[in-house]
Amino acid sequence: MKQSTFKEEQKVTTASNLENMEKQAALDIFSQMLLIRRFEEEAERLYRKGLVRGFLHTYIGEEAIAVGAIPPLREDDYVISHYRDHGHALARGIDPKAAMAELCGKSTGCSGGKGGSMHLFDIEKHFMGGHAIVGGQLPLAIGIALGLKLKHLDSVVMCFFGDGAVSEGEFHEAMNIASLWKLPVVFMLENNLYGMGTDVNRSRAGGSSIYGAAEPYKIPAVQIDGMDVMAVRETVNEGVAKVREGQGPVFIESMAYRFHGHSMADPSNYRDNEEVQENRTRDPIDKFRDVCIETGKVDGNDIALIAEQIDILVQEAREFAEQSPEPTAEDLYTHIYAEPEGN
Amino acid sequence: MAEMLLRDAMAKALREALDEDDRSFLMGEDIGAYGGAYAVTKGFLEKYGEERVRDTPISESVFVGAGIGSAMIGMRPIVEVMTINFTLVAMDQIINHAAKLSYMSNGQLQVPLIIRTVTGGGAQLAATHSQSFENWYASVPGLRVVVPATPYDALGMFRSCRKDNNPIIFAEHALLYRVKGEVPEEYYEVPLGKARIAKPGTDVTLVAYSGMVRVAEEAAAKLEEDNISSEVIDLRCLSPLDLDTVIESVKKTNRVAIVEETWKTGGFSGTIASDIQEAAFDYLDGPIIRINGPDVPAPYARNIEQLMIPSSNWIVESVKYNFGL
């Protein structure tokens, strides 16, 4: 793919995008997005019941980005994320039971109950963590990519971050080094227009459109509709191919909107209800479902069946989390330090 | 046994890492073409090439983080931060990431990262370039803090660090690079978390680390002239800390002074003093003395800079005055 194409093309899902897609593949995409949506809704319910504590940041409204971007990756690729990480973890194939148990602080959680919502890990699946210091995962992604390069592997690192992270110095340092050393990084910016409660236009001199920030670092960049799962998928496939060839990083800005507050503690007073409602009409799951049905790719029964299956999965995750044991007092003291090599 | 500068012992330690382990590489500011700000890696770029001796942009946070990230997938990076003062720019990566990943991932991740850095004052580099923050890092669970005082220990402990799977702050005192010491040609290791009795004695225990060890040894020699026998303990590591060796010594001498280059407020000497009185209160014949730099930023002018760094005379006077010796 030419750099100019990557920079200029605006992708939109139309029926034609689905023409060559198998029915099952379309259903998988729908199913993965719906799993995230229902998982997050259940997590919010559990938070209100007091079973999930701490900070809970849900991904509702942004599902198309994780589902468009992560499943096309190879098993030997890596994913690293920020604190709004449930969607990325589920899209990477983390068991919803282990994720829900982690949210509930149970020893069966994917981080043993020590990480919580913001710090999901599954290293076997190459899900290298949710990281909760804004921008902090960017240097780690650089390091994973450097390690891959030194090992002469053709895997790539997909690094998710939000518009807030762009104000951190580490963002610019990371972009510079990634480009300078031609590291295999896909910079996945999820621009949901607010860094917590601050409108990106009030925090960024360059305005709300960010992909141009990659240009000084000579990184090919594109801005896409992050609520359009097929647009994300196609762009990521092109971008990943480019990175895998050893041409260095690419930058993908997915324009998005989170339907709920920053966290459960946030009543969203800084944005108009009208704005929220207007964005809800762009619901990525409804949109994809409608295109699928329009094309005759799937029908209402397929959709209903998936919805039913997802509800069961999420209820099983909730039951597993509720019934799992808490960590023991001994667990407080484990894994502070690693065992010596060879042990 | 050959005599070697601490600088050369470190160079030997780094060459071993690169020769013996293809997962290891060096990364940092001016370590390659320039040869290292303190000349430890002189000639390395020519020998090992720019893939394994990586000059970085002046982006401490990202190149330290890059060390962490590469360690997360099984590399064994050795990152050099030019001075410990500059590690402050990377502190988020060190404390919020390197030190936490094993714990937060419930042991799924390891971060076998050695961060080499240069600590200490006394070279007229003024307030921003003369600090010692080993004590800060030692207060963070998940980090190891290694503070060699001799060429022998620098090489021997570095070898142990290479076998450890944790993030390590390896702090080399700037004024020790030109200190000579015996280093055997045959292979040896110095374990982490085992203090060294630098000089045995019976009347008072002097606890020190890094650049303060030789100052304490000088003080011990001066006290010897007045028939006061000092036992000098070199902690070698602040984390893990070998308190047992300190306690054993205090039980024998019944008097202890802790010497530390950094500020008294928040100094690691406070932690050690507290640990000693908890473990050996009944053995103490007097107060535990903390000899730290005063709570002032380091000045440039030589005469007043020297007033803020504990000296052997300062130790001697303090021991005599406080213990009535």
B140 → chain A, closest CA residue = A336
Determine which of B56, B108, B161 to mutate to test the interface with A (most A C-beta atoms within 10 Å): B108
Task: State the pLDDT at residue A8.
Answer: 46
The answer as to whether A326 is a domain residue is: no
The answer as to whether A331 is a domain residue is: no
Query: How many Å apart are CA A117 and CA A135, to the nearest integer?
Result: 17
Q: Which of B67, B107, B108 sits opposite A143 (nearest CB)?
A: B67
Please indicate if any CB of chain B lies within 8 Å of the CB of A145. Answer: yes
Task: State the pLDDT at residue A11.
Answer: 57
The answer as to whether A337 is a domain residue is: no
**Phi–psi pair at A138, nearest 5 degrees:** -65, -50
All residues at 6 or more sequence positions from A185 whose CB lies less than 8 Å from its CB, including other chains: A141, A142, A145, A156, A157, A158, A159, A178, A243, A249
Determine which of B22, B64, B68, B70 to mutate to test the interface with A (most A C-beta atoms within 10 Å): B70
Please say if the pLDDT value at position A247 is more than 60: yes
pLDDT digits (tens, 9 = 90+) for B36-93: 999 999 999 999 999 999 999 999 999 999 999 999 999 999 999 999 999 999 999 9
Determine which of A335, A339, A341, A343 to mutate to test the interface with B (most B C-beta atoms within 10 Å): A335
CB hemisphere CA count around B98 (13 angstroms): 33
Q: Which of B62, B67, B68 sits opposite A173 (nearest CB)?
A: B62
Domains and CATH numbers, chain B: 2-183 (3.40.50.970), 196-323 (3.40.50.920)
Report CB contact under 8 Å: B108, A143: no
Q: Is residue A28 exposed (0-12), middle (13-18) or buried (19+ Cβ within 10 Å)?
A: middle
Do residues B104 and B142 touch, judged by C-beta distance below 8 A? no
B 110-169 residues with CB below 8 A of A?
Answer: 110-112, 141-142, 144, 163-166
Query: How many Å apart are CA A59 and CA A39, to the nearest integer?
Result: 10
Q: Which of B62, B104, B112 sits opposite A121 (nearest CB)?
A: B104
- Whichever domain contains A148, its CATH number is 3.40.50.970
Mean pLDDT of chain A: 93
**Bridging pattern class, strands B168-173 and B114-119:** parallel
Please say if the pLDDT value at position A6 is more than 80: no
**pLDDT, average across residues A14-25:** 80
- The Cα of A184 is separated from the nearest Cα of chain B by a number of Å equal to 13
Query: How many Å apart are CA B17 and CA B324, to the nearest integer?
Result: 50
B100 → chain A, closest CA residue = A336
Please indicate if any CB of chain A lies within 8 Å of the CB of B105. Answer: yes
Query: How many Å apart are CA B136 and CA B159, to the nearest integer?
Result: 24
Contacts of A131 in chain B (CB under 8 A): 97
The answer as to whether A334 is a domain residue is: no
Domain that holds residue A313: 3-321
Report CB contact under 8 Å: A141, B109: no
Tell me which DSSP letter residue A70 carries.
S
Give the SS3 label for residue A241: helix
Query: How many Å apart are CA A67 and CA A156, to the nearest integer?
Result: 17
What is this structure's pTM? 0.96
Contacts of B108 in chain A (CB under 8 A): 111, 121-124
**Phi–psi pair at A221, nearest 5 degrees:** -140, 155
Domain count for chain A, please give it: 1
Number of other CB atoms surrounding residue A282 within 10 Å: 17
Please indicate if any CB of chain B lies within 8 Å of the CB of A66. Answer: no
The answer as to whether A327 is a domain residue is: no
Single-letter amino acid, residue A101: A
A141 → chain B, closest CA residue = B69
Tell me which DSSP letter residue A122 carries.
B
Tell me which DSSP letter residue A305 carries.
H
ipTM of this complex > 0.90? yes
Task: State the pLDDT at residue B168.
Answer: 98
pLDDT digits (tens, 9 = 90+) for A109-119: 999 999 999 99
Do residues A269 and A196 touch, judged by C-beta distance below 8 A? no
Please indicate if any CB of chain B lies within 8 Å of the CB of A71. Answer: no
What's the Cα-to-Cα distance from B127 to each of A159, A336, B43, B163, rounded to whole Å? 38, 34, 32, 35
pLDDT digits (tens, 9 = 90+) for A280-290: 999 999 999 99
Report CB contact under 8 Å: B73, A148: yes
Please say if the pLDDT value at position A4 is more than 60: no
Active site residue B129: yes
For the record, the structure tokens of A130 come out as 């949710």
- The Cα of A114 is separated from the nearest Cα of chain B by a number of Å equal to 5
Task: State the pLDDT at residue A3.
Answer: 36
Report CB contact under 8 Å: A121, B72: no
Please indicate if any CB of chain A lies within 8 Å of the CB of B239. Answer: no
CB hemisphere CA count around A177 (13 angstroms): 31
Contacts of A146 in chain B (CB under 8 A): 66, 69-70, 75
Q: Which residue has the tokens 């409660």?
A: A197
Report CB contact under 8 Å: A123, B51: no
Strands (E), A12-140: 78-81, 127-130
Do residues A234 and A170 touch, judged by C-beta distance below 8 A? no
All residues at 6 or more sequence positions from B125 whose CB lies less than 8 Å from its CB, including other chains: B298, B300
Catalytic residue among B29, B97, B129, B217: B129
Q: Which of B65, B77, B102 sits opposite A337 (nearest CB)?
A: B102
CB hemisphere CA count around A238 (13 angstroms): 20
- The Cα of B154 is separated from the nearest Cα of chain A by a number of Å equal to 19
pLDDT digits (tens, 9 = 90+) for B207-261: 999 999 999 999 999 999 999 999 999 999 999 999 999 999 999 999 999 999 9
- The Cα of B112 is separated from the nearest Cα of chain A by a number of Å equal to 9
Contacts of B105 in chain A (CB under 8 A): 111, 115, 119, 121, 123, 129, 335
Q: Which of B69, B107, B144 sits opposite A143 (nearest CB)?
A: B69
Task: State the pLDDT at residue A15.
Answer: 62
Task: State the pLDDT at residue A2.
Answer: 31
Contacts of A144 in chain B (CB under 8 A): 69-70, 72-73
The answer as to whether A335 is a domain residue is: no
Do residues A255 and A191 touch, judged by C-beta distance below 8 A? yes
The answer as to whether A328 is a domain residue is: no
**pLDDT, average across residues A91-116:** 98
Contacts of B101 in chain A (CB under 8 A): 129
- The Cα of B151 is separated from the nearest Cα of chain A by a number of Å equal to 24
- The Cα of A140 is separated from the nearest Cα of chain B by a number of Å equal to 4
Task: State the pLDDT at residue A20.
Answer: 80
Please say if the pLDDT value at position B127 is more than 70: yes
DSSP β-bridge partners for residue B78 = B26, B114
Buried b / exposed e over B77-116, threshold 16 CB at 10 Å, is bbbbbbbbbbbbbbbbbbbbbbbbbbbbbbbbbbbbbbbb
All residues at 6 or more sequence positions from B79 whose CB lies less than 8 Å from its CB, including other chains: B26, B27, B28, B63, B64, B66, B67, B113, B114, B115, B116
| DSSP3 helix / strand / coil % (chain A, rounded to 5) | 50, 10, 40
Task: State the pLDDT at residue A297.
Answer: 86
Report CB contact under 8 Å: A139, B61: yes
